[in-house]
Each structure stands twice: as C-alpha cells, then as structure tokens.
Structure 1
C-alpha cells in the first residue's frame, strides 16, 4: 500500500472523485469505503457530482466524517449557476448549495467555478458572484474559465481583486502565451491529453507538473482523466515524485 505524504496545509493532490480502479487497488488499504481507502493515500478530492445534482447536507457530513483531519474537499459549483443562469440571478440556487456543501465544515477546501466555453466575461456578473461566494464561504475560490475574454489584463485584474485563483487547466483552452496566476494558491486541473478525460500522462509530463508545482507557494492538483481509470495511477506517480 502507498503511504501518504505528510499532511500539508498548502499542498493538495487528488482526483476528480474517489473511484479506485482495480489495477491500483493494492496501493490502498483493503478495508473501508472507497472514500476511506482513497483518503488514506491522498489528501484531497474534487466533487464533480455537485455540478449536476444537489447532495443533502447529511451526505456531505458523512463524507467529511469518513476522512482524516487534514483532508480537504473541492466542490464544483452547480451548472444551474454557471451554465444555465450564466452567473446571473441564481441567489436561491447559491444559497441552497452553500447550505449543502457547507456541511463539510473545515474540510471544505475550495469551491470550483467551471464556466462554459461560450460564456464571455461580464465583469459585473462575475464580481457579484465572487462576492457572494466569499460571503458564504471562507475557503479558496477557483475559477476555470474557457472563453478568451477571461484571460486578458482586465480579467486578470478582476480575479485578483476578487480574491479568486485562476485555474491552470490541461489541455489549455481559450488562451495562449504564459499562464498568469491571480492568487498565491495555484489550482491545476489535468484533464488528460491527447484524449481528454481518458489519456494518461507521460512520465516527463508529470515531472514537468511536479517542477511547476514546486515553484508555487501553495497548490491544489487534481487529475480529471477519470474516464478510463488513468487519474489514480497518474496521481500516485506524481505523489511519488514529490517525496
């Protein structure tokens, strides 16, 4: 079984979900729920199911109780806010979401805002949403935008002033040139390439990721190439590089 890295308050590594592929099962404890076994090795997980449907507070409470004290969850904002409402007029949905995800307590480490490729930056709407998120949550707020308008100088300034970290995604979508961070804590989402959500990363790619993360003051790194079970082996390989 893989032994976890020493708990760190500023370095988080995990996957989008805690499904354990059979090929990597021997790297985790034999006993316990999937989440308990997963959390014995990684110190973070990203909950993507919240994007599609609500979860009851008692579900979040159960997940929090199943993990060690140092473990943290990133929870994706519902698509009803990001994709259907376009960030506007979703106060009721946001309040409900806050009441649900807030049940994670101190184990809520990040709210992830993933935007649709067609959603251009509306500064007023974005600022209002980020302010509303900060009013309800004390954790990190990370934004994965996928429209070019979210990557110019004015957008960078808006994110910095709003206290929101710009997600570094791979494959890169919507921007070219060097990545410009907007907050001290980096949030990296690795979706798999060349086949998004499926492909594993090559050893040199993982080494490059580790080198970049090592230069950041604090970081989250989430593998989202889960469709073929590649996320867990890739996360284990990256974890080994950081020892």
Structure 2
C-alpha cells in the first residue's frame, strides 16, 4: 500500500527541484491603519495567483479560523481588531489566492445554528468549502469546567441523535454545497475508556452508521480525528473504512509526527485526505498557550517545519493525482503564520507535480 499512496516514492531521493521562492518569508509589510473601515482584501499578489493556478484543483488549502489582526498586509488591508475580523473578515479571507477552505473551530465550543452556517456560506465563493468541527458536547468523553479540567463523565459522548440534530443537520442545511468536511475530533480519553477502546469503537461505529446522507453536498466528507496515539491501529482504520469515514491527519503534539500517522493513510488508501496542521511539536503536548505567546501576532514564520511540510506535500500530490480531494487547514501554531505556511506548502506541492 505504501507504493500505492506514494507512487513516486522510489524517486524521492531526487525530486523535481522546487521553484526558488521570490524571497524569504518575512513579516507583513506596514499598511495604513484604518480603524473602523471595511475589511478589504490585499491587492492580488501575482506570485501567489500564479502559484494557485499550478495547484491541483482537488486541493483545498485554508487556515484555522480567520480573525487575526496580524495578517494585515498578508490577507487584508488596514488595521482591524479580532472582533471585527471575526464578523466581517471572511469575505476578504476567501479572496486570498490560496485559500479555498477554512476550519470553523467555534462550533467545537458551542453548537451553531443553520442560520449561522448560512451567513458564513453567503460570504464566500461557490467553490469554497468549509471544514467544521463537531461540538465537544458529543466528542469529549468528559464534561469539563471552564479551565478545561474534567469534572464528570459525559453521558452523551458520541450520541448519534445529538450529533445529527446539533451538528450534522445544521451544517448541511446552512452550508449546502459549500460543506467540505465534518470533523469529529475526539478529545483525549480518560484512562478507563482508553483501556477499553472496543467500547469507544462500538459507540463511534453506531454514530457514523447513523449519520444522514451527505448527497446534497457532493464534496462532503466525514472525518474522525483522534487525540490519543492508541487509536492508530488497524482496527480503527477498518472501522472508518467500513463506515465510509476518513481519518483526519491531526498534526499536533499529542499525536505522533506525520511519519507515525502515515500507516493509517496507507491502510485506508485510496480515499480523500483530511489534514489539520495544528501545533508545532517544539511547543510540547500542552503548548497551545506558549505557542500563542511565541508566535503572536502571527505575521511571520518562527519555527519552520520543513519535514512535515515536504511529507504533507508528497501525500497531497499523491492523493490528488489519484483523483481524490485533499482538505488541508493550517493553524498559525504550525509554524507561526498560516498564510505563509500555506504558500510554502503550495510551492512544495507544485514542485512534486510531474
């Protein structure tokens, strides 16, 4: 299966040279400060427009949310606060040459309505696709306090009825054909459940088999992202394959690096790629807050991760060449600045297209 997933693997020692970047990524250039003005996209960067034309049409790159003031000069013009960008920045974001997707993270913390999803859909082009996270109320085995500490067992963990009513149906109704991926991110399990994965797998199978048809959204994929390495087994791959779901390649420090997760993709080949490149391992397994401080205001690459980038580019190239969609969303915490990481990843993908 390794050769099927990476048909060019025998040539990896001498890949086609990547085009030299125009310049080393640097901080966004200064732009006029225009408080209170409309959020406008940056003028088209012709090098990014040309790069986007070379990307496989089945690849959809995007960020993890869009409300970052530090992207001034990279995604939008002017100086806008986070609140304004959250409300009004999506249209400008969707005009970035490389961004044809975005991950809606806020749905993880509170279920969204069909009307809220519809408002997002109205702000982007027809070819745009959303990656949406299921609420933690059904994907976390524990109920947590405001500081994230587990306080009790979650009685509706992986409850299909609630997942459909509060997540799948609103997202499908509101986003329509712009729905790309429904992600069930399973939070780290408490030790008793982690020691009894058969029970978790049985609940997950029942949920996935109960989901309604997504035929109204032809590109839509259901994907499951684990936060425990113990999930990376043939049994988990077989469960997802049997239920028509994808494995979400979750690149963050609680899971093995990309090489340690490739066997799951090979076991499920062929099929779509869903990847969320979230947290650089240099920050540690619980390094979200330290990454926030280290990378803010998210306007430059701080911790380059060329191995992850090049390996992911190889997987994207193989997946799209085989006729399958690839959804890849990137957090600022991956390297420091999602738009610049997307540009570097796009260059790496283009260099592998023969």
- What TM bracket, shorter-length normalisation? 0.7 to 0.9
Q: Which moved more, 1:141-150 or 1:41-50?
A: 141-150
Are 1:129 and 2:207 counterparts?
yes
Please give the TM-score of this superposition, normalised by the length of structure 2: 0.60
Match of 2:171 in 1: 101
Match of 2:108 in 1: 51
Does the residue aligned with 1:37 lie in a helix, a strand or coil? helix
Q: Give 5+ residue unaligned stretches, structure 2.
A: 1-43, 79-84, 141-153, 296-301
Please give the TM-score of this superposition, normalised by the length of structure 1: 0.85
**1:116-143: CA deviations, max 9, x gaps?**
221543232111111223x153420111
Are 1:222 and 2:329 counterparts?
yes
Q: CA RMSD in A?
A: 2.8
- Alignment of structure 1 residues 71-110 onto 2, 5 Å: 71-83=128-140, 84-85=154-155, 87-102=157-172, 103-110=174-181
Larger Rg: 2
8 Å contact from structure 2 (residues 225, 248) kept in 1: yes
8 Å contact from structure 2 (residues 112, 166) kept in 1: no
Match of 1:113 in 2: 184
Are 1:39 and 2:94 counterparts?
yes
**CA spacing shift, 1:202–1:123, aligned 2, 3 Å:** same
Q: Counterparts of 1:149 and 1:204 in 2: how far apart (Å)?
A: 26
Deviation of the 1:172 alpha carbon: 5.6
Q: Counterparts of 1:87 and 1:236 in 2: how far apart (Å)?
A: 38
Deviation of the 1:174 alpha carbon: 4.9
Deviation of the 1:12 alpha carbon: 1.1
Q: Counterparts of 1:189 and 1:202 in 2: how far apart (Å)?
A: 17
Equivalent in 53, 60, 65 of residue 12 of structure 1? 60
